[in-house]
Structure 1
Amino acid sequence: MFIPKSAGRLSRLPRCCAAMLLALTSGVGTAFAEPLSFEDALAIAVNETPALRAESAGIAAARQTAIPAGALPDPKLVLGIDNLPIEGPDRFSLTRDGMTMQRIGVMQEFPNGAKRDARVAAAQGRVALGEAQTRITRLAVLRETAVAWIARDAVERQLARIDALDSENRLFDAAVRARLAGGKGSALDAVASRQEAAMIDARRDELNARRQQAIAALKRWVGPRAEAPLTGAVPDWPIARGTLTHALHAHPELAVFDPKGRVLDAEVAEARAEKKPDWALELAYQKRGAQFGDMAMVQVSFDLPVFAATRQDPKIAARLAEREGLDAEREAVLREHAAMLETDFADYQRLVSAVKRQREVLLPLAGEKVDLALASWRGGKGELTDLAMARRERIDAELMAIALEGERRQMAARLHYAYSEHAYSEPTVSGEKQ
Structure 2
Amino acid sequence: MGKAKKLKVSKNVSKLSLDKQIEDDKFAKPSTRVKVRQRQVEQEEFVDSTLSQRILHQAREQQRELEDDAGMSGAEKPTPSTSLGAEASDESDEEEDKMEGDFYYDKIEVNEDDERALEMFMSRNPAPRRTLADIIKEKITEKHTELQTQFSDAGSVQIQELDPRVKQLYEGVRDVLAKYRTWETTQGLQDRPQPAKLGADSLRHRWSAAAMYQATRIFTSNLSEKMAQRFFNLVLLPRVRDDIAEYKRLNFHLFQALRKALFKPGAFMKGLLLPLCESGNCTLREAIILGSVIARNSIPLLHSSAALLKIAEMDYTGANSIFLRIFFDKKYALPYRVVDAAVFHFLRFERDRRELPVLWHQALLTFVQRYKGDISSEQKEALLGLLRHQSHGLITPEIRRELQAARCRDLEGAEPMVV
TM-score by length of 2: 0.18
Structure having the larger proportion of residues in helix? 1
Bigger relative contact order, structure 1 or 2 (CA pairs below 8 A, ≥6 apart): 1
- Pair member with larger Rg: 1
Structure having the larger proportion of residues in strand? 1
TM-score by length of 1: 0.17
